[in-house]
Amino acid sequence: MFEMLQITPQQLREWISAEKDFLLIDIREDWEHEAFNIGGMHIPMDDIPAHLTDIPTNKDVVMYCEKGIRSTITIQRLEQAGYHNIYNLNGGMKAWKGLK
């Protein structure tokens, strides 16, 4: 059993500033993504199984949702499918918006 990788909003901001090579995936619904997002690929949670070929296994991936709950569930499912390179944005967009 692997421990899920976590990244804080501050760490993610540092990755973005440093132009680190990683993939950012918003798994929220279309309306949530349109209302506010921080970029990256948009694949709603229910569509993830149809997009496994879009999710690399050879570089870091950060998934985010509104609070971190849906991304936790999605990452647990992906870990069962053999992915061990996916970080959960701790606290999701709610925490991101709380950054000063």
Q: Which two tokens stand for residue 1?
A: 């059993």
What angle is formed at CA 32 by the lines to CA 30 and CA 38, rounded to 5 degrees?
100
Q: What is the pLDDT of residue 3?
A: 83
Distance CA 18, CA 9 (A): 14
Whether residue 57 lies in the annotated active site: no
Out of 24, 65, 75, 86, the active site residue is 65
Q: What is the pLDDT of residue 48?
A: 97
pLDDT in tens, 21-69: 999 999 999 999 999 999 999 999 999 999 999 999 999 999 999 999 9
Q: Sheet holding 23-26: strands in order across?
A: 5-7, 86-89, 61-64, 23-26, 41-42
Buried b (16+ CB within 10 A) or exposed e, 22-35: bbbbbbbbeebbee
